[in-house]
Amino acid sequence: MGWVKQLAAHYPEASVPDLTSRQVLDFLIHLQNQRELASSTLNQALCSLRTLYRDHLGRSWKIWSKLKIKRSEPLPHVLTREEVARLLATFRDGRYRALFTLIYQCGLRLNEALHIRPTDINRSTLSLRIRHRHAKGGHERIVPLPAGLIERLRRFWMWHRNPDWLFPAPGRGWKGSGLSLRQALHDSRKPMSDSAAWMAFKIGKTQSGLDTQHDKLVIHTLRHSYATHMLEGGASIRQIAAYLGHRSLKPTLVYLHLTEVSEAKARAALGTLAGLNPAHNPR
């Protein structure tokens, strides 16, 4: 309604339902060029007016696709390797340290990590299967697992031995049930909840002191940090895209803007280009 009022104020001599498609488009162009609104705000205005004229007034106008809105995509927020180690060290509960270490070292989404089953881990191939029903977009994939992480996850699972989940939920009433945490995890038929993971992460980032340095620090930051650190370590962009479960390279390419490539490395690469080796110069 706010955008309808602004449209009416822009054309004080006319009735809003009587405006032509050209007039409405001119108003949107005015918002874009003269008022220089942010992309998200401009899109909000477009959607509001489209809802009015298309859905309520039944106008089959074609103007809505004529306004080109350039959407800004902010760079992902990442931690340094030292900051990741500092954060993970604050989780004293083995469940949460194992969970967040897995998310970082495999670049997983939270929902993917919470629904890992013991049978998804292949010790012989050092790999982890991400099931399609829990992966974004429904695409199953295989990601490599560091040998040290496999051993950590194995020790954790051997402790609770839940047949269904690597990270089971003990349940809200387990403390008053007389059961130990170990037994409650073993008997559980549900995975850890998102809220439990978020609560633990919030406490961890506060205890690590990183919350004062990184106001955008969330669980997904660990996944962004994985991708950036893998690129810095020499992994190819195609490999990382496959590990992250991206169907194209476009969402993965953003991490190239976050990697630190020294000038010395760039000059070393330049020296390997064909024709730059003096020994091959016939003169």
Catalytic hit among 136, 189, 190, 238: 136
Cα–Cα nearest to 236, from 264, 217, 259: 259
The verdict on 124 and 56 lying in the same domain is no
Q: Are residues 168 and 217 in the same domain?
A: yes
Host domain of residue 46: 2-65
Is 182 among the residues known to form the active site? Answer: no
By CB atoms closer than 10 A (0-12, 13-18, 19+), residue 61 is middle
- The active-site residue out of 10, 109, 131, 214 is 109
Give the DSSP H/E element, type plus range, for residue 144.
Answer: strand 141-144
**pLDDT band with cut points at 50, 70 and 90 for residue 262:** very low
The pTM of the whole model exceeds 0.75: no
21 and 146 inside one domain: no
129 catalytic residue (yes or no): no
Look over the chain and give the mean of its residue pLDDT values, rounded to a whole number. Answer: 87
Catalytic site includes residue 255:
yes
pLDDT tens track for 199-237: 999 999 999 999 888 888 999 999 999 999 998 888 899
Instruction: Check 53, 96, 104, 255 and give the catalytic one.
Output: 255
Q: Is 104 found in the same domain as 24?
A: no
- Answer yes or no: 220 catalytic: yes
